Structure 1
Amino acid sequence: MTTNFHRFHESWTDQLQRLTAELAKNSAHPKSPDDHHQARRLVDKVVTHYEDYYSAKAAAAQSDVLALFAAPWASSLERALHWVAGFRPTTIFHLIYTESSVRFESRVIEILRGQRTGDLGELTPHQLGRVSELQCQTVKEENEIGDELGAWQEAVARAEPGWAGMCGSGPNGLDNLLDRLVRVVTKADELRIQTLRRVVELLTPQQAIEFLVAAAELQFGIRGWGSHHDRLRAVA
């Protein structure tokens, strides 16, 4: 299953690159109802692509959850940044704030003159309020999942000494411990995709496209940088 998910991850990433290129071509301010419809269709297509990833990952977790933490398909840098076998959901909010600030600062003169494009630099007070609310809620859920992972680690430490003890059928037997870890990873992945959906829903189609492009470019950038560093280490 590890090999199967590794192949899926590579194929999924390739498809994400193609979808991101398609998004970038349609990032201009929509001028007609058809433009809005096309933008929303593309956004939904990308969100569905992420949903497919987590569906495949859930199946992989049932087969070998520990492989998701080892993540042989990821670079050392990517693994160093992982939180419960994936990206930290609150990263989404840092990205939103950063992209919004950069776009606002680059166009502040035009905005003051009343020129509007409707991009991420022009988030409304209502949108900013909703982003803040979602961030607070996500931090709370992240902390709860972190506590669950900590409790799982303590359970492993309290397991009966020796491999034979851990292979028992009690609550600290290996199978039960791994089942608990699967549930923790599943919760973390549900929070990841749920956060993505909620943020996209509160953005306009144009803003959602800009956000998804920025998120993918961040992912590709980290992956490329990490892979390059791993290659340099391999030949050193």
Structure 2
Amino acid sequence: MSSTSSFTRFYDTWFDQLNQLLEQLRTAPKPPSSQDDRSHLSSLAQKIVSHYAEFYRVKSMAIESDVLSVFTAPWASCFERSLHWIAGWRPTTLFHLVYTESSILFEFHIADILKGRSTGDLGDLSPNQFRRVSELQCETVKEENAITGELSEWQDSANEVMLGSFTDLGDKVGRLVSVVKKADDLRLRTIKRVVELLTTQQAVEFLVAAGELQFGVYGWGRKLDHRPCQSV
């Protein structure tokens, strides 16, 4: 079995397990009313983060084995791949998700918030949390741009291979491995750092929203891939 086929099978199992973990988060008591509830929510949130870490650990091995196949992500739908940034989702997507969820929940609880009642959810982010999220977003944008620049340089240098110079092909593939690994490292670090900026309840809401977005894109992609072909 090829490394790509092996990773695809891992991904299918991993994805099912992610859904199970998210279901536990969805059904957990929110807001937590006791220390036991908070500990339970915190434990579930950490399990999700660890689950993402396991994904990137296994993906790293697949990248080293066959980076070109990983770059094309055969386990993903055409729709999912159209949204990819260097073989995966763009890290700054998480910040748009935080702001969107915060805005929706703020409007939903605006009456309570105006009365000074704390809701404790993503709609109740403190000024300090907004500042730190904004700072992290700026840092992440810079890292994204730097990695995108590395990929652009790699693509320029790869033109030499297309023109017939195969002497350093192994080195060029190795450089692509490095670029994809940097992108995945940024993805995982962004998840971890956003979670660290949030309270337990907010982190749970963020992880559920991220998971639902991921499953939504997955579902739409599968539907589009299975549409009947239309004649031109």
Instruction: Using structure 2 for the length normalisation, give the TM-score.
Output: 0.95
Amino acid corresponding to residue 5 of structure 1 in structure 2: F
Distance 1:201 1:216 in 2: 17
Structure 2: give runs of 5+ residues left out of the alignment. none
Aligned to 2:68: 66
Structure 1: give runs of 5+ residues left out of the alignment. none
Using a 3 Å threshold, how does the CA distance of structure 1 residues 160 and 2 change in structure 2: closer, same or farther? closer
Q: Are 1:198 and 2:193 matched, yes or no?
A: yes
Kept in 2: contact 1:27–1:210 (CA 8 A): no
Residue 95 of structure 1: how far off its partner (Å): 0.2
Aligned to 2:32: 30
Distance 1:56 1:110 in 2: 45
Aligned to 1:17: 19
Kindly, what percent of the aligned residue pairs are identical? 52
Using a 3 Å threshold, how does the CA distance of structure 1 residues 62 and 27 change in structure 2: closer, same or farther? farther
Aligned to 1:186: 181
Kept in 2: contact 1:27–1:209 (CA 8 A): no
> Please, which of 222, 225, 228 is the counterpart of residue 220 of structure 2?
225
Residue 178 of structure 1 aligns to a residue whose secondary structure is helix
Distance 2:229 2:120 in 1: 46
Residue 74 of structure 1 aligns to a residue whose secondary structure is coil
Using a 3 Å threshold, how does the CA distance of structure 1 residues 74 and 114 change in structure 2: closer, same or farther? same
Q: Which runs of 4+ in 1 moved over 4 A?
A: 233-236
Kept in 1: contact 2:63–2:70 (CA 8 A): yes
Residue 117 of structure 1: how far off its partner (Å): 2.1
Instruction: Please tell me the root mean square deviation across aligned C-alpha atoms, in Å.
Output: 1.3
Q: Are 1:77 and 2:79 matched, yes or no?
A: yes
Residue 158 of structure 1: how far off its partner (Å): 2.7
Larger mean CA deviation between 113-122 and 44-53 belongs to 113-122
Larger mean CA deviation between 193-202 and 104-113 belongs to 104-113
Kept in 1: contact 2:91–2:140 (CA 8 A): yes
Kept in 1: contact 2:4–2:69 (CA 8 A): yes
Kept in 2: contact 1:27–1:206 (CA 8 A): no
Aligned residues: 229
Residue 205 of structure 1: how far off its partner (Å): 0.6
Residue 85 of structure 1 aligns to a residue whose secondary structure is coil
Residue 100 of structure 1: how far off its partner (Å): 0.2
Matches within 5 A, 1:1-236: 1-26=3-28, 28-159=30-161, 161-162=163-164, 165-166=165-166, 168=167, 173-234=168-229
